[in-house]
Chain A
Amino acid sequence: DIQMTQTPSSMPASLGERVTISCRASQGISNYLNWYQQKPDGTIKPLIYYTSNLQSGVPSRFSGSGSGTDYSLTISSLEPEDFAMYYCQQYDSSPLTFGSGTKLEIK
């Protein structure tokens, strides 16, 4: 199975701050990488697909980049609703695997 390592596991940040979350795969995944957001009430939604494509309805302050084994999610200016858990997911090979998550907390 491909292991997905997310860093950091938690990140205190302030409103308006720019933050970046990293995700490293145990082998190359050819940009087959998605990002999801999970709110405290458990609600999950997709943010980014195929490394850098914004899911419909997702604000443009979210962006994704990367290649090979290293990928990142950037939020350009934090809004109150962005404080949540974030997960990367690879779909290069079965089984689909997720990162362990990054909790974005208010500083």
Chain B
Amino acid sequence: EVQLVESGGGLVQPGRSLKLSCAASGFTFSNYYMAWVRQAPTKGLEWVASITNSGGSTYYRDSVKGRFTISRDNAKSTLYLQMDSLRSEDTATYYCTREEGFPYYVMDAWGQGASVTVSS
């Protein structure tokens, strides 16, 4: 069974940092692109960042470029999101997702989410 389990969420002050982890199991992690999607309270879904299966390429939405870093450790089957210079607008539940690209693109597995609250 495919499982994605996020951890590392919490309450953090504006301008500080937080690192999320996503432990993957039930599939060959190194074969898949992965992504983070967030959902602000009472809002819709918003793509944050993606990473290729090797980790060689990363992609970010403009609002987090230069502040967030997506990375992965294929030996540990774990995805990360390092979040620096956090702002109140980064408050959200962050979901780890698996990206399937064949035959067509779809986020075919999701974690349960990690809550991040940025507040003084």
Chain A residues engaging chain B, CB cutoff 8 angstroms: 32, 34, 36, 38, 42-46, 49-50, 53, 55, 87, 89, 91, 94-101
Contacts and interface: CB of A to CB of B under 8 A. Distances in A.
A6 to B, nearest CB: 9
Interface in B31-52: 44-47
B44 A101 contact: yes
Interface in B46-60: 46-47, 59
Contact of A42 (B44, B104, B113): B113
A36 B107 contact: yes
B104 A53 contact: yes
A45 B44 contact: no
Contacts, number: 48
Contacts of A100: 44
Given A95-B47, A98-B47, A45 B110 contact: yes
A50 B110 CA distance: 18
Given A44-B45, A46-B106, 20 more contacts: A34-B105, A34-B106, A34-B107, A36-B45, A38-B45, A42-B93, A42-B112, A42-B113, A44-B95, A46-B108, A50-B103, A55-B106, A87-B44, A89-B45, A89-B107, A91-B105, A95-B61, A98-B44, A98-B46, A101-B44
15 contacts: A32-B104, A36-B45, A42-B93, A42-B112, A44-B110, A46-B107, A46-B108, A49-B105, A89-B45, A95-B47, A95-B61, A95-B62, A98-B45, A98-B47, A101-B44
Interface of B: 44-47, 59, 61-62, 93, 95, 103-108, 110, 112-113
A32 B105 contact: yes
A94 B44 contact: no
Contacts of B61: 95
A87 B45 contact: yes
Contacts of A32: 104-105
Contacts of B44: 87, 98-101
A67 B44 CA distance: 23
